[in-house]
């Protein structure tokens, strides 16, 4: 009577490892690309939040502000300010009364930081007092989705 050995051979194990490696080499970059695109919403949401706060401040003070104030969007008068976005993927900057444009005016920009620097399609986002959106190096149709 022959006794058959049970278990997995080394060759079978190596085939499974090879298949898993191929699947991972396809899935991981695709997932990272998805994350970068999803994290763009951190910039766009923050810019829209700051623009809304600027309009509220303008209605109360007849001027825009560049200061985020001690309580985030609780704005106080100032010329410019910088802070991190809500989830920290972007640095938000406000500039008030930009030269060469009628006053009062402001520009809010978001620049990628940390891991989001890998998102070469959309490094910076901007919005101004009249709601004109911008993005570089690709335009708003790619980045402001």
pTM given for the model: 0.74
pLDDT tens per residue across span 72-111: 565 555 656 788 888 889 999 988 887 777 778 888 999 9
pLDDT at 43: 92
The edge-to-edge listing of strands for the beta sheet with 133-137 is: 80-84, 90-96, 106-112, 122-128, 133-137
DSSP string, 48-91: HHHHHHHHHHHHHHSS------TTSS---S-SEEEEE-TTSSEE
**Domains in the chain: boundaries:** 10-143
pLDDT tens per residue across span 107-136: 899 999 988 998 888 999 999 998 899 998
Cα 23 to Cα 14: distance, rounded to the nearest angstrom: 14
pLDDT over 80 at 44, yes or no: yes
Structure tokens at 123: 């490094």
């Amino acid at each position: 009577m022959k006794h058959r050995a049970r278990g997995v051979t080394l060759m079978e194990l190596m085939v499974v490892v090879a298949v898993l490696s191929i699947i991972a080499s396809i899935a991981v970059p695709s997932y990272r690309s998805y994350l970068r695109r999803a994290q763009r919403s951190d910039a766009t949401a923050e810019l829209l939040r700051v623009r809304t706060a600027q309009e509220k401040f303008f209605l109360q003070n007849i001027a825009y502000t560049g200061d985020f104030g001690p309580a985030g969007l609780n704005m106080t008068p100032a010329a410019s300010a910088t802070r991190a976005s809500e989830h920290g993927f972007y640095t938000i900057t406000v500039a008030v009364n930009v030269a060469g444009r009628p006053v009062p005016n402001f520009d809010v920009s978001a620049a990628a930081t940390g891991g989001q620097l890998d998102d070469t399609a959309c490094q910076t986002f901007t919005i101004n007092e009249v709601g004109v959106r911008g993005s570089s190096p690709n335009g708003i149709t790619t980045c402001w989705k």
